Amino acid sequence: MFATSAARAGRPRLPVSAATASRPRRAAALVALSALAALGAAAPPRASVDDAPSAPRPPAVEPLRFRPIAPTIARAINGAQAERERTGPAAAPLATSLAGADAARAVDCLAAAGFYEAGDRRDDQRAVMQVVLNRVRHPAFPKTICAVVFQGAERRTGCQFTFTCDGALTRRAPSSAAWARARAAASEALDGAVYAPVGLATHYHADWMVPYWSGALMRVAQVGPHIFYRWRGGWGAAAAYRGTLARGEPGEMRLALLSGAQRAIAADGPPARGPVRPVLSSASDPDLFLIRAASDAGGDLARARALCGERARCTVLAWRDPGQVARALPLSLEQADALTFRYERADAGEPRARWDCERVRRRDPAQCLRRGALPGDAIARDMPGGTVRAG
C-alpha cells in the first residue's frame, strides 16, 4: 500500500524488497503515535501539582509504576516528547557538615544509588546522585541521603530507587575499583559539586519505560538511558528547594557487604570484627541473618524487622559480643550460649522476638531466651562449649 501511494504522489517507486522492509518501521511509528495520543488523553489533570504556589502541602511522592507498553513503543513515546525538555536553573550546591560515621554512610548510600541505578558511567552516576541531593532539599522527601535512597525499600512495590527492593544488592556487587569511583563521585557531590544538566530534577526513569506520572511532570533532560523530570509550578521552582541535610544518617544493613560504616549500624562501640552480613546457612537459606546485636532491645527489634522486610519466613540471630558473631550455621555451642537476640517469622502467626535476659532486661519472662536447644541442624554438637539458650 505504501509503495502504491508513493507512486501516485509522483515519487519514485521503491523496489519491492525496500517497500516490504519499510512496512514494519512505519507500522511501529503509527503504533507509537497512537500510544502517544492515548497517553496524553489518559493523563489525569494534576491541578495540585501545577498550582503548587497555592498548595499548602508538597505533592505526594508516587510509587514507580509503569504503563504496560513494549520497550520499543516506550522509546518512541519518550523520543517524541524530547522537544518538550526545559532544563531550567541548576541546583545550588548542597551545604553539608557531616563528619565521621554520618559522612561515611551518606557517601555509601549516594554511591550505591549512582552505581546500581546508572552502572559505572560517571555522568550517568552524577545525574542520579543529583536527583538524590535535590530530593534532600525538597520538602516532599526525607532529609538524609540514606533515607532518600532507601525510601519505600521495605516494600517490594513502592520503593523510589528500584535497586533497593528488586534484589540487585544481593545479586551483584561492584568491583573494588568501580565502588571506589562511585564513592569518589558521591564525595564530590557532598562536597558541593553540582551536575547542572539535570537542573532541579527529582524524578527519572529509563527510556524503555513510561511511568504513569511522567505526563504530569516537566521533562528536564536525558542523560544516557535516563530521562529526568521536575514538578511543574512552584513545587518545581528553585524556591521550593530550601531544605538542608540533617545529621544522623541511618545505617543501612543492606549495604553491609560494601561498607564497614554500614556494618556498625545501630551498635555502640567499634564495628564488629569481620563482615556483619546476611549469611546463607548450611541449607542455603537466604532468609537467615547472623548479625551483631544493637545496644538495646528496641534497636534489635527495629533492625530485625528491617532485614526481614516482607519475607514470609525469616530468622535473625544476633550477638552482643562481636567476636561471637557467627558466619554460618551450624553454630558452635559457645556461639549458641552467647546468643543475645533471636527473631523468627513463620508463614503464619505473629513474629517472635526473644532476648538473653541476663544481658538485656525484659519485664515479660516470655520474651526471654530459655535454656534448651536450638534446632538440631543449627548447632555443631561435637564442638566444646557451654549451656545452650534457645527461643
Residue-wise pLDDT tens digits, 146-174? 999 988 876 655 688 988 887 787 777 88
pLDDT in tens, 17-29: 434 444 544 554 4
Q: Quote the cell numbers at residue 127.
A: 545525574
Low-confidence stretches of the chain (pLDDT < 70) are 1-55, 154-158, 253, 256-257, 260-286, 348, 371-391
pTM for the complete prediction? 0.61
Query: What DSSP designation does 249 have?
Result: P
CB 236 within 8 A of CB 214: no
Peptide bond connecting 68 to the previous residue in cis, omega within 30 degrees of 0 = no
**DSSP assigned state of 66:** B
List Cα–Cα distances, 285 to 48, 86, 263, 278, in angstroms.
47, 49, 21, 10
Q: Would you say 116 and 255 are in contact if contact means Cβ atoms under 8 Å apart?
A: no
pLDDT for 93 equals: 93
Give the pLDDT of residue 388: 37
pLDDT of 66: 83
- Tens digits of residue pLDDT in 225-247: 999 999 999 999 999 999 999 88
C-alpha cell at 19: 517497500
Taking only the tens place, the pLDDT of each residue in 246-269 is 888 877 767 766 776 665 553 433
